[in-house]
A = this chain, B = another copy of it.
Amino acid sequence: MLKHSHPLIGVIGGVGPYAGLDFVRNIFNNTRALKDQEHLNTLLVSCPAIIPDRTKYLLDEEPVNPADGLFESAKILYAAGARHAAVVCNTAHSDRIFKPFCGMVADSLPGMVIINMLSSCADFIKEKHPEIRTLGLLATKGTYKSRVYKEYFKSVEGFTLLEPELPGQDRISDAIYSLDYGIKAHSDPVQAKACNILLYEGFRLLDRGAQGLILGCTELPLAVDPTDFSTPVFNPGLLAARELIRLTAPAALTGE
């Protein structure tokens, strides 16, 4: 286990792999650091082979709960000394995955704090944009179907949450999963077709009355440029990265 002044920030990546890199980049980008040694200690575990697709599991197309693989990843972080971590997948925050995962962590890894990307995001919106009551959600089918954002943002926080109609959900799913042009298969660079679909579906949600958009899948920030929209675009991964810095090394957080 690492012994030094700064704590070790854990990141459970691999869901998908590039989103894990994007998340750690968010930690680095939001740290006050002008030289290597001022950056925070991070450990990124990316073991995608042991974590089945979250959406497929929620759609009952995959029997194994991804929670088990997430827990294996958490154990690696814990053994190395990490006591704060995030899971870099929105879909994994649905109750059927996140609750058993957090249960295993609570039972076996004492003192380990797993932050929740959805509450990082809701807390930020309430504090910085109190005028926003209606949000549009761009996400995977698993996230829509699991109602994870609906439950949290609507039932717990009282927002109105707009989702695309089913054909729009299908298009977004293709923008993420298509082997021809989806972000998971083509991440570097992402394909214009994926970007265009997300732009179109984002504008449709704004037309229906959304005052802001949530990028509710960690692949989406790879393909969506927030400056394309005139309304705020919220990236739960970015906000969760900032929360991890705030919890472990608050003086290092930029822009506070």
Contact = CB atoms under 8 A, between A and B. Distances in A.
A183 to B, nearest CB: 11
A109 interface: no
A45 B179 contact: no
A51 B37 contact: yes
Contact of A41 (B4, B39, B46): B46
Contact of A47 (B8, B15, B48, B52): B8
B53 A4 contact: no
Interface residues on A, range: 35 or more
Interface stretch (A21-29, A94-102, A151-159, A207-215): A21-29
A53 B17 CA distance: 29
Interface string A39-78: 1111111111111110000000000000000001000100
Contacts of A227: none
Top 4 A-B pairs ranked by shortest CB distance? A44-B44, A36-B48, A41-B47, A16-B36
23 contacts: A2-B50, A2-B72, A5-B49, A6-B49, A8-B47, A16-B36, A17-B28, A17-B33, A17-B39, A25-B188, A28-B188, A34-B185, A36-B48, A36-B51, A37-B48, A39-B49, A41-B46, A42-B46, A43-B44, A43-B45, A44-B46, A76-B81, A79-B80
